[in-house]
Amino acid sequence: MSTAVEARGLGKRYRRRWALSDCSVTVPTGHVVGLVGPNGAGKTTLLQLAVGLLVPSSGTIEVFGKPPAEDAGILGRVGFVAQDTPTYSSLSIADHLKLGAHLNPRWDGDTARHRIEKLGLDPAQHAGKLSGGERAQLALTMALAKHPDLLILDEPVASLDPLARREFLQTLMEDVAAHDLGVMLSSHLVADIERVCDYLVVLVDSRVQVSGDVDELLASHHRLVGPRDPGAPPPACQEVIDASHTERQTTLIVRSDGPVVDPAWTIESTSLEDLVLAYMTRGSKSHGTARASVPGAET
Amino acid sequence: MTWLAWRQFRTQAVAALVLLGAVALTLAVTRPGLASSFQIALHCKGVQACASARSEFFAKDSLLRHLANALALAVPALIGVFWGAPLIARELENGSFRLAWTQSVTRSRWMLVKLGVVGTASMLAAGLFSLAVTWWSSMYDQLQDSPFQQYDSRGIVLIGYAAFAFTLGVALGAILRRTLPAMAATFLVFFAVHITFSTWLRQRLLSPLHATSPFHWTPMGYQLGPPNPADWALGTEVVSPTGHALGQLGQGSLFEGFQIHAGTLIFQGVGACRVKVPAESLRTGNISQAVQQACVASFHLHQVTTYQPASRYWTFQWIELGLFIVLALLLAAASTWWVRRRLP
């Protein structure tokens, strides 16, 4: 399995504040990778470093084995849609497609036109007059028509209403299937990640808490429910990710590569959301930053 | 990339063309009237007739002439403010740089093409404008004392000013990252540099010439100025026969009149007269013109005029054009570096 994005000791500082520090992560090619984490974890910073919009303050990041934005070739292999889905408000949709054709040697004009047609958008319409969802679709169309090997989307559905969000993700998945490309998208909504991603990276306070194939993660994590007994040792051979207690019972999220056999506990499978929340809780505890609310529970 | 640079600039280019067309049309329509009036002033006979013909010519379209001169000064500033400052700042402000810089074009190339397309247009616009104004004003300028009077609204320097103002706007826009503050800063910095150049630096670009002549003084005043009225006079100094500089003409009350102090007549700024002065005059303070002139003559003063000869007009224009082009290239390189390394 080859590597699409590899970061080592990556950090980005704005004046005195580190938006991302000492982040190491490897993202394989050919997956739809969900980057999930609370607000301020450094997701946007990591993605902008990966497309070369930002330059690292420390460490390195490589995309397909090269520093991002080093030359036109590597720029052409990566498509990007920023969080605010920027477009030129005074240019029409048709102008945007022309722009893409002039600026990208791998541009696929037919795909772009078909996609705009399918979305029911008028090519003569100015981008400034589009709704948030339509603008996001235009930005995604441009990124897809670039014919990238890797598509990076920063909170692609954050500004969309639930219906538009579902449509956006659906069209995205159709395009991914049709063009055989890798995707890396960030979200703080686990439900969106669950719907489209087959690979997960949980980022809390710049650190990767866990990363891996979604099916493998689900298979190796379990939810254990048992009576509350502060004195009892944790189940053997298992890593406890998170423990929560009510007055009578204790719920654990544990990681175990083998089957869990322990009569003291009721063993259940975990949902992806429970898994993500467990890692996010652990991540924020280990950094001593108590968070009043855990984003990701917003769905 | 050229396509995008042009597409983003198209509206502004059309606006500039319309403006330029309107100015050219106005000037072309009014010039024949000027020309006939100019011929009368040129072929006049008699002092009285000539004076009135000249003043009639100078009064003709004087509003338009002042407007054209002012516009010539303003065109480079307008280019810097409306074409230069928003070039990068607007992309940074509305986030579209994230779209532009993630296409398959490196930032350096993006910058170079944008700078090239709009920069060339800036210089072209300023050049055409200058050509129109210089052509229209040529008759006035012929009757003016010195070509240096309208130096910075004529000729090729406007092209240099435009290139400088444009790149200044680009650089300030990239550094300040906001369009409006960048526009204001461009306006201020451009005029600060322009004023420094026209009042201080330009006259020092070539070492000036000096012309020495006897100090002519009459009770009406003294005669200032360089050998040829078309020269650019920088100052006139009064020098004693021993070569001692006494001061600049036209500054303060030096060499302007006489004072009576303790029974002697004193020529202000020089000293006590070395001629005999009637006691009656000393008492009443009523000094005859003959005595005054004899007094001044007794000092054997000289005046040294520092000036730039009119023949250097085009040398100055070329040097200044070159300097501003170099400044513009430096600013273009600096803003490209800034965009590559320091943004966003």
Orientation of helix A132-145 relative to helix A109-118, angle to 10°: 160
Domains of chain A: 3-212 (3.40.50.300), 215-286 (no CATH)
Residue range of the domain that includes B130:
2-206+312-341
Enumerate the residues of chain B whose CB falls inside 8 A of the CB of residue A75: 102-106
B93 and B214 inside one domain: no
Least CB–CB distance from A103: residue in B1, B94, B98: B1
| Residue B270, CB-side half-sphere exposure with 13 Å CA sphere | 25
Contact A76 B98 (CB under 8 A): no
SS3 content of chain A, % helix, strand, coil (to 5): 35, 30, 35
Residues 6+ positions from A297 with CB-CB distance below 8 Å: A277
Q: Which two tokens stand for residue A93?
A: 């949709």
Local structure of A239: helix, strand or coil: strand
Global ipTM: 0.87
DSSP string over B275-300: S---HHHHHH----HHHHHHHHHHTT
Render pLDDT for B231-273 as a digit per residue (tens, 0 to 9). Answer: 998 888 888 888 888 888 777 667 777 888 777 888 887 888 8
Residue by residue, pLDDT tens for chain A (299 residues) are 588 999 999 999 988 888 898 899 999 888 999 999 888 888 999 999 999 999 999 999 999 999 998 888 999 999 999 998 999 999 999 999 999 999 999 999 998 999 999 889 999 999 999 988 899 989 999 999 999 999 999 998 887 788 888 888 888 888 888 887 899 999 878 888 888 899 999 999 888 899 999 999 999 998 888 888 766 666 666 788 888 888 888 888 888 877 777 777 888 888 899 999 999 988 887 754 433 333 433 33
On whether any CB of chain A is under 8 Å from the CB of B14, the answer is: no
Count of domains observed in chain B: 2
Cα separation of A44 and A35, whole Å? Answer: 10
**Strands A32-36 and A199-204, sheet pairing:** parallel
B299 and B332 inside one domain: no
Segments in chain B below pLDDT 50: none
> Which residue from A minimizes the CA distance to B104?
A76
B245 and B160 inside one domain: no
Enumerate the residues of chain A whose CB falls inside 8 A of the CB of residue B7: 91, 95, 98-99
B181 and B217 inside one domain: no
Contact A103 B104 (CB under 8 A): yes
Orientation of helix A93-103 relative to helix B2-42, angle to 10°: 100
B185 and B283 inside one domain: no
Least CB–CB distance from B95: residue in A75, A82, A99: A82
Residues 6+ positions from B282 with CB-CB distance below 8 Å: B260, B263, B264, B265
DSSP string over B120-168: HHHHHHHHHHHHHHHHHHHHHHHHSS-GGGGGGGSTTHHHHHHHHHHHH
B162 and B201 inside one domain: yes
Cα separation of B31 and B128, whole Å? Answer: 17
Backbone angles phi, psi at A94, to 5 degrees: -60, -40
Query: How many interface pairs between A and B have CB atoms less than 8 angstroms apart?
Result: 74
Enumerate the residues of chain A whose CB falls inside 8 A of the CB of residue B8: 88
**Residue B252, pLDDT score:** 66
**Residue A252, pLDDT score:** 87
C-alpha distance from A125 to closest chain B C-alpha (Å): 16
**Residue B209, pLDDT score:** 93
B150 and B180 inside one domain: yes
B220 and B190 inside one domain: no
Contact B99 A55 (CB under 8 A): no
B179 and B247 inside one domain: no
Q: Which two tokens stand for residue A10?
A: 């990556």
B46 and B32 inside one domain: yes
B35 and B164 inside one domain: yes
- CB A137, CB A164: distance < 8 Å: no
Contact A88 B104 (CB under 8 A): no
Cα separation of A290 and A299, whole Å? Answer: 21
Phi-psi region of B250 (alpha: psi -120 to 50; beta: other; left: phi over 0): left
B271 and B195 inside one domain: no
C-alpha distance from A87 to closest chain B C-alpha (Å): 6
Local structure of A266: helix, strand or coil: strand
